[in-house]
Amino acid sequence: MNVEVNPLVAGVEESATEIVDNEIKLMKRAGVKDIVSLGVGEPYFDTPEFIKQAAIRSLEAGNTKYQPTFGDPDLRKAIQEKLAKENQVHAELEDIMVTPGAKFALFLAFQALISPGDKVVVLDPSWVSHSSIPLLMGAELLQVPTVESEGFQPDLERVHSALIQKPKCIILNSPCNPTGAVYSPDTIRKITKMARDNGTLVISDEIYESLLYEGEFFSPASEFDNVFTVNGFSKRYAMTGWRLGYACGPHALMEQIMKIFQHSASCVAAFSQAGALEALTNPASAEATKLMVDLFNRNRHLMMESINSSGHLQCVSPKGAFYCFASYDKPVKSLDLARDLLKTSHLATVPGGAFGLGGEYHLRLSYATNEADVIEGLRRLRAYFDQIGN
């Protein structure tokens, strides 16, 4: 049967990060045992034991039924308190939702907001799904370049030129995937005010808020009402496989999101939410997160030292998240380079071209792994460039 698919879906590229992860898994199943991965953005740590035990207790108590669409009320209350205490964001309980991953919260928001032809502002380079999800809805992307020589910071004049075109929304991600850039509170304030003046919603993706090494984190919803805030448990608590995110935003938007949620995922599993509640309320979480962030920071310094001493790589020092976005000096497309690295050196990286036009001739290198893999991965990367440079 010849199936005619939605052209919007057919026109969207696969996620480069998922492609890399899947190729690694296939190679491992084929018996390749020495792969070093600096690819997928996933903490090396296991979920803290006390969080896992909370989910186990919930399962054993029989909490295996459908839950309220927007999430367990106790968990939402804990999220409300966290937002108020840590971010100075004061959201009504009815406007807070728990989702199967922060990515799904973004998906819900875009589906509720975007009609075909609506404009969406994306800072380039940016995380792959920030562009792909609105494209699935038929959006027109207004890609505003951030420049490596300027630390990948947003240029306010370029942003203003995009916002005066009256886009539906602009996506901010600070700390940023893939660049590790952290935007100053003043920059975020100015962008959010410009957006409000033009009737534009700010989607603030704050999933890396706790992975901050330099600079200051700022949540724009603390001062502005034109903000949809997205966060989750994956990075902060090493809970990637749990698929747990949360979001809050203007009531009129959340009402429409509720309907889409009801007709799609319906809810998040009760025992997963029990783990999330434990993560937010157990004082031991803070220490577990600090230990993890301290390791990432050491790895960040190790990776930057190796990059800076290489004759073929350059990188703006990341101030947050857990990525180095390294440029290289060879005229080879990043996807071809990443595939050759995986094939010949058994080193997994993510091609920078997947993150937008400004990402080409870069590799995203994750340091959310153990120290030994960071050292070995950079050794292989430098050896690879030394070899092809001769």
pLDDT at 19: 76
Question: Is there a single domain that holds both residue 192 and residue 86?
Answer: yes
Sign of CA dihedral 253, 250, 268, 45: positive
Range from 10-19, 195-204, 305-314, 358-367 carrying the lowest mean pLDDT: 10-19
Q: Are residues 80 and 195 in the same domain?
A: yes
pLDDT digits (tens, 9 = 90+) for 260-273: 999 999 999 999 99
> Same structural domain for residues 139 and 200?
yes
Residue at 196 is within a domain: yes
Whether the predicted pLDDT of 146 surpasses 70: yes
Q: What value does the mean pLDDT take over residues 78-87? A: 98
According to the model, what pLDDT value does residue 390 have? 57
| 381 inside domain | yes
pTM, two decimals, is: 0.95
Mean pLDDT rounded to a whole number for the chain: 95
Is the pLDDT higher at 124 or at 28? 124
Looking at the structure, do residues 12 and 111 belong to the same domain, yes or no? no
Instruction: State the CATH number of the domain containing residue 379.
Output: 3.90.1150.10
List the structure tokens of 363: 């590799």
**E strand or H helix at 362, and its extent?**
strand 362-366
Q: Is residue 97 part of a domain?
A: yes
Same domain assignment for residues 234 and 178: yes
Higher pLDDT, 40 or 208: 208
* Least confident segment among 79-83, 98-102, 340-344: 340-344
One-letter amino acid for residue 166 of the chain: K
Residue 96 has pLDDT above 80, yes or no: yes
293 and 273 fall within a common domain? no
- The answer to whether 11 and 135 are in contact (CB under 8 A) is yes
**Last residue of a domain, which of 282, 300, 329?**
282
pLDDT at 68 over 60: yes
Tokens of 311: 């004759």
Is residue 68 a part of any domain in this protein? yes
Contact 232, 101 (CB under 8 A): yes
Total number of domains constituting the chain: 2
Is 227 within a domain?
A: yes
28 and 69 inside one domain: no
Q: Are residues 177 and 79 in the same domain?
A: yes
Residues 143-157: what's their mean pLDDT? 96
Say yes or no to pLDDT of 48 above 60: yes
- Convert the pLDDT of each residue in 363-388 to its tens digit: 999 999 999 999 999 999 999 998 87
Q: Which residue has the higher pLDDT, 40 or 254?
A: 254
How far, in Å, CA of 215 to CA of 248, rounded? 25
Are both 292 and 276 inside the same structural domain? no
CATH code of residue 67: 3.40.640.10
Polymer length in residues for the chain: 390
Same domain, 33 and 104: no
Residue ending a domain, choose from 282, 316, 342:
282
Q: Does residue 54 form part of some domain?
A: no
Q: Are residues 68 and 37 in the same domain?
A: no
Residue ending a domain, among 282, 316, 337, is: 282
| pLDDT in the model for residue 143 | 97
In terms of residue numbers, what domain contains 221? Answer: 63-282
Q: Are residues 205 and 119 in the same domain?
A: yes
Does residue 127 lie in a domain region? yes
Q: What is the pLDDT of residue 2?
A: 84
Q: Give the pLDDT of residue 357.
A: 92
Residue 301 placed within a domain:
yes
